[in-house]
Structure 1
Amino acid sequence: MVKIIKLFHGGNKKAFTLSYDDGITQDKKLVDIFNKYKLKATFNLNSGLQGEEGSFVINDLLIKRMNREEITHLYDGHEIAIHGLNHLSLIDIPKELMVKEVLEDKINHESMYGYPIRGMAYPYGTYNETVFQVLEALGVEYSRTVNNHREFRLPSNFLEWNPTAHHNDPDLMELAKRFVQGESLGMELFYLWGHSYEFDLDNNWNVIEELCEHISNKDNIWYATNIQIVDYLNAVHSLKFSADFTSVFNPTAISTWIELSGTKIEIKPGETKKL
């Protein structure tokens, strides 16, 4: 009996990714923590609200958005995604304004960072089928929701990408320990999200520090941005197997990995591998 299991980059069964919103000053401290532990994150920004005019107050705490100069290189090594030009709920506005919110935000950030912006997080977590149609037409390949499932499953629809947990989950460390220590039968993904200002609101920066320390530097976990996860999953799901499973062809530009009867195998871009 042939047993083939698809694996993440590097032959890992587990992957970990992070997603943080709004481009506010607390991101500076958060990026330092992520870089300290060599983790990869996606930051969802609102180009129409950059600068002090986009600041807001929660529970007497002034939340300051950073200006263009502050964020140009802050997120180097991580991914930039969009969060709506002016952070409007996309289901509550006309389709024409929805297009403007997404497209102008995409154009602005592509101009600033110099690469195609392909991901998003839904402002206020709202979306519907019309939103899906607009995002697909505008080249947005994935978008994160706020619907935590507290599991390690892969997304079935990248435009409705439900995360594992918010960092204020009371069982966050239990989830992390289960992810790190558990035996994986197949690919598992831990997806954490939030807003960095919440650590000041709750006075609990220790939560993210402890989480990052516990989950980082593991040989069996791939640490990736959201778009790296998307690209890899698309690639590994594109593998073409012969009918008798004696060969496999990788038609993509990304190296992929599988496990065949307990042996990890890399299939390089454009390679036909004998199994």
Structure 2
Amino acid sequence: MHAQLEHIHHCFPGGRHKALTFSYDDGKIEDRRLVELFNRHGLKASFNLNGAKFGRDHRIDAHELADLYAGHEVAAHSLTHPTLTRCPPELLVQQLFDDRRRLEDLLGRAVRGFAYPNGKHDQRLHALLPALGFAYARTTGATRSFELPQQLFEWQPSCHHNEGLLELGQEFLARDKSQYLDLFYVWGHSFDFERDGNWSLIERFAQQASGHAEIWYASNIEIVDYLACLQRLQFTADCRHVHNPSAQALWLRVDTLQAGERRSAMFEVAGGATLSLF
């Protein structure tokens, strides 16, 4: 008897249904301690930097960049941290593109992420950023939820770390609805912990959130790129076969009915591969 298709679910790498990511701004020297903490617990983050401010105002030095943030994403945060919505278009291009170029010169790889200085953004920026090679931009709003981004250039995180991080983290860990893709996105500034005297907060959260087999620990750009690849999957009309035109391996969960019995199977669709699903 042929199997009857019920559902096909997109999954994060490894068949996971949860992801955790962080985003930290300004590149202050407290990033050294925060990166060490993240590395120790196997967490990944995106660090948003101002290319004209290295070595100033308690910021890290340019020569630290590649080694300090190895394994994490370095993203742009404008050249000098102005409120971009008050800038003329000529200055916007300089602030965005020159920051990207300076960071890329130091890293030797593409910089495609962005975080709005002071959280301010408008339609001009939403249109300009992709034209300058950026793939997403983060705001400072908070959703208090675990939704995937609907507008990549108005990407709202779940919360700032001072906004009930441990409680929201417990809610995230307790969720067990594998039909959803849940994303917990935390943002802030590393100097917040020094100023507020609460390094113990992020240490406790790192201990709470690390080491869970069902969670994908990823940077912002890894999540953006993976979700884009999922959207490029090519299914036959009856969904029995799927082709992955991307280089990255992708994961699917397929639910079928066979002889009245519901079955679930996990598939890894390798880059360039075509698979039969049921």
Per mean C-alpha deviation after superposition, the further-off stretch among 69-78 and 111-120 is 69-78
**Misfit runs of 4+, over 3 Å:** none
1:80-91 matched pairs, under 5 angstroms: 80-91=74-85
Q: Is the 8 A contact 1:247 1:274 kept in 2?
A: yes
Query: Which residue of the partner structure matches residue 15 of structure 1?
Result: 19
Query: Which residue of the partner structure matches residue 178 of structure 1?
Result: 171
- Give the secondary-structure state (helix, strand or coil) at the position aligned to 1:120: coil
Query: Which residue of the partner structure matches residue 3 of structure 1?
Result: 7
Instruction: State the alpha-carbon separation in 2 of the partners of residues 68 and 239 from structure 1.
Output: 40
State whether structure 2 residue 80 is matched by structure 1 residue 78: no
- Give deviations 1:201-221, integer Å, cap 9, x for gaps: 110000100111101111000
Report the CA distance between 1:136 and its aligned residue. 1.2
Instruction: State the alpha-carbon separation in 1 of the partners of residues 244 and 6 from structure 2.
Output: 19
What's the TM-score, normalizing by structure 2? 0.93
Instruction: State the alpha-carbon separation in 2 of the partners of residues 173 and 188 from structure 1.
Output: 17
- Give deviations 1:109-167, integer Å, cap 9, x for gaps: 00000001000100000111110111111001101101100100000111111100100
Query: Which residue of the partner structure matches residue 246 of structure 1?
Result: 240
- Give the secondary-structure state (helix, strand or coil) at the position aligned to 1:200: helix
Q: Which amino acid aligns with 2:182?
A: E
1:87-102 matched pairs, under 5 angstroms: 87-102=81-96
Q: Which amino acid aligns with 2:180?
A: G
1:23-172 matched pairs, under 5 angstroms: 23-52=27-56, 55=57, 64-169=58-163, 171-172=164-165
- Give deviations 1:7-40, integer Å, cap 9, x for gaps: 0111100001110010111001001100010111
Query: Which residue of the partner structure matches residue 276 of structure 2?
Result: 274
The structure whose Rg is larger is 2
Q: Is the 8 A contact 1:41 1:79 kept in 2?
A: yes
Cα RMSD after superposing both structures: 0.9
The percentage of counterpart residues that share the same residue type is 41
Query: Which residue of the partner structure matches residue 194 of structure 1?
Result: 188
Report the CA distance between 1:245 and its aligned residue. 1.3
Query: Which residue of the partner structure matches residue 219 of structure 1?
Result: 213
State whether structure 2 residue 265 is matched by structure 1 residue 263: yes
- Give deviations 1:209-258, integer Å, cap 9, x for gaps: 01111011110000001110011000112111111111111111111101
Number of positions where the alignment pairs a residue of Structure 1 with one of Structure 2: 264
What's the TM-score, normalizing by structure 1? 0.94
Instruction: State the alpha-carbon separation in 2 of the partners of residues 272 and 86 from structure 1.
Output: 47
Report the CA distance between 1:68 and its aligned residue. 1.1
Q: Is the 8 A contact 1:45 1:80 kept in 2?
A: yes
- Give the secondary-structure state (helix, strand or coil) at the position aligned to 1:34: helix
Q: Is the 8 A contact 1:2 1:245 kept in 2?
A: no
Query: Which residue of the partner structure matches residue 61 of structure 1?
Result: none
The answer for unaligned runs of 5 or more in structure 2 is 256-263
- Give the secondary-structure state (helix, strand or coil) at the position aligned to 2:80: coil
Q: Which amino acid aligns with 2:83?
A: S
- Give deviations 1:69-115, integer Å, cap 9, x for gaps: 23341111111000000001111000000000000000000000000
